[in-house]
Amino acid sequence: MTAPHQIRLSCPHCGQYMKIRASRGVTPLYREAYVYCTNEACGFRGKLGLEMLQTLSPSATPNPEVKLPLAPSLLNQLLHEAN
């Protein structure tokens, strides 16, 4: 089993690696996270918003409450397949 991919965040002030301290799902498409800079001399902390923007590949088990636009490439593919 492979390890999950992690988001690599750089501090907007010093450029060092940032870590997520805590996060919470606000909606199925939006999550807020509290982050901190690993550079102790910097000390920056912030709140990050993560939003799902487009569908790149449709779900095999879609949630009917999730309304997410199709990426243009997927829309073109589906239109091409329909013709």
User: Of residues 35 and 72, which shows the higher confidence score?
Assistant: 35
C-alpha 14/C-alpha 39 separation (Å) is: 8
Convert the pLDDT of each residue in 3-62 to its tens digit: 566 778 999 999 999 999 999 999 999 999 999 999 999 999 999 999 999 999 889 999
Domain boundaries, the chain: 1-52, 54-83
> Both tokens of residue 28?
């199925």
Is the domain 1-52 a CATH 2.20.25 member?
yes
